[in-house]
A = this chain, B = another copy of it.
């Protein structure tokens, strides 16, 4: 399931790991080739260049993690805050289960170097904001959410909290003395904690009283 079935995907997966741990610039094509167990030239052969390898990674991963939002927005039966909860849980799981990619994403947002990557990120952010705006309006129309909600600020807290947790992970474990837990157990715990934490926060942000 998670195992890449062909060589190209294997290189992509290896590159993802190295970009996340060493950074894009510091991870050389030789590092990637060695770690993937393939010849140096195979990276140019399959992707054209290191830069395009990065772009392929973003195309691949962002396509795979696209939200299934339309059905959620059009659902007339589900409660607006339940929809918010679904979005929060969906995002949290995505980030925690794909920490390597979201580390790369975070750094690329800071650098803004690769134009193709920037464009992909921009489109994702704006679609996210538009979707969330619509959802909030629905809740406001039903007098469930308060007026004058700052959408981008709300989403900034969502993405900021979760991505920052990737980086704070070790401190979190150390501070709360969860060292005995295995890696999957830690991730499950983080998802749990982040979920209730952000749902609680979003009640306040949206002015929702249950």
> How many of these chains are in the complex?
2
Are B175 and A152 in contact, with the CB atoms below 8 A? yes
- Cβ-based interface call for A181 (8 A): no
Partner-binding segment picked from A5-13, A19-27, A40-48, A135-143: A19-27
- Cβ-based interface call for A113 (8 A): yes
Interface size class of A (residues with CB under 8 A): 35 or more
Are B152 and A168 in contact, with the CB atoms below 8 A? yes
Are B26 and A113 in contact, with the CB atoms below 8 A? yes
- Cβ-based interface call for A187 (8 A): no
Docked pose: A155 CA to B197 CA in angstroms: 12
Docked pose: A107 CA to B104 CA in angstroms: 9
What 1/0 flags go to A93-137 for Cβ under 8 Å of B?
A: 000000000010011011101000000001001100100000000
Q: Which residues of A contact B (CB under 8 A)?
A: 20-26, 103, 106-107, 109-111, 113, 122, 125-126, 129, 150-153, 155-157, 159-168, 171-172, 175-176, 193-194, 197, 200-201, 203-205
